[in-house]
Amino acid sequence: MGQQSSRPNTECVREPCVLLKYTTNTAENHPHRLDETVGTGEIDGGRKEKMSWRRWPTLHFRCRRAAKYDLAQAEKDFQNNSGLYRRFSQAPTSEVVPAAEEQPEEEEPEEEESEEEQPELDVLLKSPICEFYEIGQKLGEGGFGSVYEGTRRVDGLKVAVKFSLKFPEMPYVKVPGHRKPLPNEIGLTLMANKGRQVPEIIKLLDWEDDSDHYIMVMERPSPCMDLFSFVELHGGILEEQTARHVMRQAVRAAQISCERRVFHRDIKLENLLVNLDTMEVKLIDFGCGALMKNTAFDVFSGTEVYCPPEVEVYGKYYAKPTTVWSLGILLFAMVCGSYPSDSDLYMINANIWSSPGLSQECCQMICDCLQPWQQQRPILKKMHLHDWFKVRLA
């Protein structure tokens, strides 16, 4: 497995994409439903093209040994710095703080940054939606928005309020039942929520679309943290039984999203919330997503370390096989504490990869999901039938 390094850039890369058309399933009887109908990976009269693996950065956890933890203490430790929807534009760096007697007396805490955030908060507080919700402290932020604590005034329900500024060429999507196109994140989240409520997908409670920004009000599970922080809390590696419980819910969230015509495109540790009391997992942040279609996508939108090899080799990818790949990377990260190295991927391709302490079924699940040829990966709709989900550990 790859050596450890600083935490990689996990910011979603969003292209200035054009409006994608809503399509229906035209290949009901094909074993790879919709976009799972993919090429054979052969060129020049049948000669298979060699996949070239990039060397990817590894996850960076403080410790890589599995560990037990105290839920009550965990909530105290992380309530101030984990938050919901936490994102980083770059790996965090360590900072050496001098001893108290060495610190210059003239240095005073600067408050300029908080002043820079004030215009955003002022706009949020003046929006019509705040007539119904009281805004609290900021929970997290990223390149595309900030998330605040919120409370619904009528009944005291705890919510998360996401404020996002619009950017040039921001993608919009036409959602059935709405007269005009909606910002991509709002539209896709609405579609993922349409129909019977699915606990594995974050629930959108309210939203507002303005000329230069949009606001989303979502459920706020408590206590919770993103999956990256959850894995870090366990010492860098999840026990297989815990990883199975998380993975089962992540797979279901991906399946339901696709059934509702939504391709998330950015399933990763940071985009899954874990409730520390119930161990319920929720998929969040559909901002990098797109409408499902039965043809290939030719511009990648997502997080690089979860990008499948066909993007680099062919410059195109299909929704469901790509989702299966990202779920495979997710599982590898949870049970190994790193992203797969070149040697890992080579052995996975040969179907001979294994890791001490993992069951044969778990290793096989990883090998199946991370096959370089798309048609050799499991069908997303049938992933829940994999032997690994049937294993019962004492």
d(CA 226, CA 78): 10
Same domain membership, residue 367 and residue 230: yes
According to the model, what pLDDT value does residue 151 have?
96
Pick from 183, 201, 219: which residue ends a domain?
Answer: 219
Pick from 219, 248, 277: which residue ends a domain?
Answer: 219
Same domain membership, residue 250 and residue 311: yes
Inside any domain, residue 148: yes
Reply yes or no on whether the pLDDT at 105 is more than 70: no
Considering only CA atoms, give the Rg of the chain. Answer: 22
Range of the domain at 190: 117-219
For residues 264 and 106, the model is more confident at 264
Domain count for the chain = 2
Q: What is the dihedral of CA 324, 327, 328, 332, to 10 degrees?
A: 180
Reply yes or no on whether the pLDDT at 388 is more than 80: yes
Instruction: Give the mean pLDDT of 181-202.
Output: 96
- Tell me if residue 344 is catalytic: no
Inside any domain, residue 86: no
Q: pLDDT digit string (tens) for 25-79? A: 333 333 343 444 333 333 333 334 444 444 344 343 433 333 333 434 434 444 4
Q: pTM of the full predicted structure? A: 0.74
CATH number at residue 352: 1.10.510.10
Pick from 219, 243, 269: which residue ends a domain?
Answer: 219
Q: pLDDT digit string (tens) for 325-343? A: 999 999 999 999 999 999 9
CA 6 to each of CA 60, 281, 336, 386: distance values in angstroms, whole numbers, following the listed order: 5, 26, 16, 33
CATH number at residue 124: 3.30.200.20
Inside any domain, residue 79: no
- Give me the helix-helix angle, 360-369 and 240-259, nearest 10°: 30
Task: Choose, from 35, 77, 206, 266, the residue flagged as catalytic.
Answer: 266
Q: Is the distance from CB of 215 to CB of 129 less than 8 angstroms?
A: yes
